[in-house]
Amino acid sequence: MAFAKSVARFGRNCRGNVAIMFAIVLAPLIAAVGSAVDYSRANALRSKLQAAADAASVGAVSRTSPAYIAAGSMSGDGVITSGTEDALRIFNGNLANLTGYTLGSVVATVSKSGEAVTSKVTFSAQVSTMFMKAAGISNMTVGGVSTATASMPKYIDFYLLLDNSPSMGVGATPTDVAAMVAATANKSSDDHCAFACHDLNNSNNYYKLAKTLGITTRIDVLRSATEQLMDTAAATATYSNQFRMAIYDFGASAQTAGLRNLFSLSASLSSAKTAAGAIDLMTVKGQNDNNDQDTQYTTILPAIDKLITNPGTGAAGSPLKYLFFVSDGVADEYNPSCLKPKTGNRCQSPINPKLCKTLKDRGVKVAVLYTTYLNLPSNDWYKKWIAPFNAGPYGPSPNSEIAQNMETCASPGFYFEVSPTQGIADAMNALFKKAVADARITS
């Protein structure tokens, strides 16, 4: 009887159930935790492999990569072998000292299609397990893919149209203007002349005087700025023939005033720089030489329009076209359709923006650098003929028609005005860099 009661009490006792249940669930719990550890470890290794693949795909199409450079010399589309090799090198280099995996495969392809260079890196790897081996799983497979695309740089032809007419002999800054006025006092009938005129018939050749005295004129600054521009272009180019330059001015002398070719279109930027060093002020032979009509916009701009072939797509062999027009914006020419009252047949007026519209309508981008026409209070000619559409009593007006017309000439976003305290070189470089950036975005 007592034995039977003890057996009954044992059957009703639940205090040992927790231990029994824990023993039952312990094995799968350990398996679950171990699987989580193995999975977390595999995922961490995959992230590192993916980072290596990303670095390889991006690096293989970077601006200085072998593939990007090789693409520039390809006449058609296709695989770039050097790019494939470079991508694999970058991928493997990023995996140095990484352990715990066995690389199954890695495939890299780099190719050119149209104006794009694309790289693709695909990988797979085996990651050994620690806890999942108990379930018969000795490793886990991880993989990934990374793709990167880069647009090829645009080929651009730059035509520089530089105003070298006598008005560019004015002092580069107000200080230079004042120095020129003081230096010419009582020297001739052109007493207190702000212009360093290159008059070959005048023993008091003010251009030579300015050089002797170290007075900087606008033409001096323009020469230096154009030389610096060639250095900027050379440093910016990805391919040796990516940018071509042509340089034109308004003529060597008043007798030959008109479009003059200083340097024909060429990819030799070093030769263009040498040619830029020859930029100089137009010579004259006395007062009224060529009726003083030396800034002939109505013939010069149509002439350069004929020289600039139709713009292309920016691909190799089909360059975009940009005209860099640097001037103080005042026409002095024979022009029956003059925008302002004439002196006989002589037209002195702000530039007519319609001359630039013809170029822009063809797709040529016109970049205008306006060298502000300075106020010349001691010059009677300036006060009578230019000041009415340019300046108030103390300097150029904010509503200057010259500035307004020059800005209208420019393509949107490509107008710079250079004040006397600013650098023409900085402005020309800024225009160049803007042109290169604009070409990538819009073409």
Report pLDDT for 26: 46
All CATH 3.40.50.410 domain ranges in the chain, comma separated: 156-442
Give the percent of the chain with pLDDT over 70: 79
Q: Name the residue among 416, 425, 424, 421 with its Cα closest to residue 228.
A: 425
pLDDT digits (tens, 9 = 90+) for 57-89: 999 998 889 998 888 778 788 999 999 999 999
% helix / strand / coil in the chain, to the nearest 5? 45, 25, 35
All CATH 3.30.1300 domain ranges in the chain, comma separated: 25-151
Report pLDDT for 423: 74
Q: For residue 192, is pLDDT > 50?
A: no
Q: What is the mean pLDDT of the chain?
A: 83
Q: What is the CA radius of gyration of the chain?
A: 37
Query: What CA–CA distance (Å, rounded) separates 142 from 257?
Result: 74
Q: Which CATH number is 156-442's, of 3.30.930.10, 3.40.50.410, 2.160.20.10, 3.40.50.300?
A: 3.40.50.410
Query: What CA–CA distance (Å, rounded) separates 102 from 201?
Result: 87
Query: What CA–CA distance (Å, rounded) separates 162 from 261?
Result: 11
Do you know the residue count of the chain?
443
pLDDT digits (tens, 9 = 90+) for 157-172: 999 999 998 878 877 7
What does the DSSP 8-state code read for residue 254? Answer: G
Residue for token digits 């070719």? 261
The yes/no answer on whether domain 25-151 falls in CATH 3.40.50 is: no
Q: Which residues contact 105 (CB under 8 A, 6 or more apart)?
A: 122, 123, 124
What does the DSSP 8-state code read for residue 392? Answer: E
Contact (Cβ atoms closer than 8 angstroms) between residue 197 and residue 166: yes
Residue for token digits 């020419």? 333
pTM: 0.73
Tell me whether residue 184 is exposed, middle or buried, using C-beta atoms within 10 angstroms of its C-beta: 0 to 12, 13 to 18, 19 or more. Answer: buried
DSSP string for 44-95: HHHHHHHHHHHHHHHHTTSTTSHHHHHHTT-SS-EE-HHHHHHHHHHHHHTT
Helix/strand/coil (H, E, C) string of 372-385?
CCCCCCCCHHHHHH
